[in-house]
Structure 1
Amino acid sequence: MSVLTLASDPQDAAALELAEAHHARLAGELAGRVTMLLTAVDRDPSAAEKIHAGLVAFCGSALLPHAAAEEAALYPAAHRMPEARLLIEGLIGEHRCLTALVDALRAAPAPADAAADARALQVLFEEHLAKENGLVLPLLAMSPEVSLTELLAVMHQRLATTTSAQDAQEDQDNEERHDMEEEFEETGGCGGVCGCGAQDEDDPELDVREVPHAIRHATVFGALDAIPEGTALVLIAHHDPLPLLAQIEQRRPGVFGVQYLERGPEAWRLRFSHR
């Protein structure tokens, strides 16, 4: 363990770290999607529409179900602790704000109208997770009357049930998105990829050098998930991201072509083209 983890038993210590890692993945994926939306609004309105739709879908399939599972599995145990009661009530209120921001994203008539709400959603979610990581999870892990391991197991079971219920709708959405992409290709739009392998000036850039290490890879995953087929993303890193490249290929085999545009010494720039 890189930091001291206080818990009533080793299992809860491990569970706390796993929960924090899951939070980092959610925050990173959200940050990547929001970054791509804010960039595409100014550069590529057509891509921005698809990124906006993907962001709304991500919130509906991952972010909001996570919040609901927390309220059902984790929050009641923490609310019974006098020192955490007001904190939990405040966090439940933040869940309502997160839901309202997602509703605003969903109702936005155009991606440009959703940009401010998307950024607000990212900031609020990151602050929310910081409170959970720094206060709620440690309180539950340190309490001998509570098993954080069991609470998280219940939470994950609820998430799995929610995911199963969404599978049919997701399959339908994928079919509709595939039809839209075929139509886009037939109209001759290249989305910034000319086929020559060189960088297009409209390619959005994601500079991860200032992104916190805990969410850096997840931010890249979220950004890559956000860009539509036929478009590209330029990644800027402070070193050659070979482990990241291996993770991307393992996660989505054969989906992205990679071209090095710059190889250090101060920055590495790589162009990911979504095939």
Structure 2
Amino acid sequence: MTETFDRRRHPVRADLAAIDYEGRATASCFAEGEVFQVIADQLPIRPEPRPDRPIDTEALSGEWVTVYEQTPEGWAWGQLDTDGYVGWFSSDDLGPVKPATHRVRALRTYRYPVADLKFPPLGLLSIGSLVTVIGETETRGLAYALLSDGSAVVAKHLVPLDAVEDDWVAVAEELIGTPYRWGGRSSLGLDCSALVQLAAQTGGHGLPRDSDMQEAEAGEAVPHDDPATLKRGDLLFWKGHVGIVAGENRLLHANGYTMTVAYEPLDKAIDRIAATEWGAITKARRLPEL
């Protein structure tokens, strides 16, 4: 029997596949892959090497990707190390690997050419971005982290890689008002499952990217027939959508209804969503306490 591979999670095509799939997948050739680091602020990942296609997701600055093909047109096909997502992205936005020491905890932070906020920024890093700190300095009483690429960011906007938030839902709440963006995975714009993934990551939970993956794998299933039994941090799933229980009768989600990250009364959200293509709640899941 031929094994079926989800294109979002497995670097397998008819003409090319990762070497790890040799013997499992049918492909014209197999490649070892080469690891690179994302040097853009955000790197759109698409299902095809076409700029007019909607994005599936984004890689963040400092994350690693394993590349199995690069084209003369400047496209690369590979897999994101953070959550295993596979797709096409710009090879111009990749650089050599530098092991990260910290990640961005502020919703976003400017990257400066020198340790001085008066200078024009080089870029804007989102929460979840990874950086390599090689030193620290102070300018006019403000501490800056010096990064391996020669730039600087405000030091208090970073946390060590092993830092864990006691209440990751509070991090999701910090993103209220962020624009909804299909496939977005940054504090400049994100979708429902990216909100869950980014916020849960700060609490030490490594979740898959899309809502159907999270519904199948995140934590453990809990009953959802009585909303009163749900706890803060429980995840509620509909077909193609996920939201976070933020409190009694309160749902927090990135959604196309308000086009933002927003609170919504849970009972009203259930009724509203049931009247749309998403239908009824399909599952509730609870992440483990760490």
Instruction: Report TM bin, short chain.
Output: under 0.3
Structure-2-length-normalised TM-score:
0.22
Higher strand share: 2
Higher helix share: 1
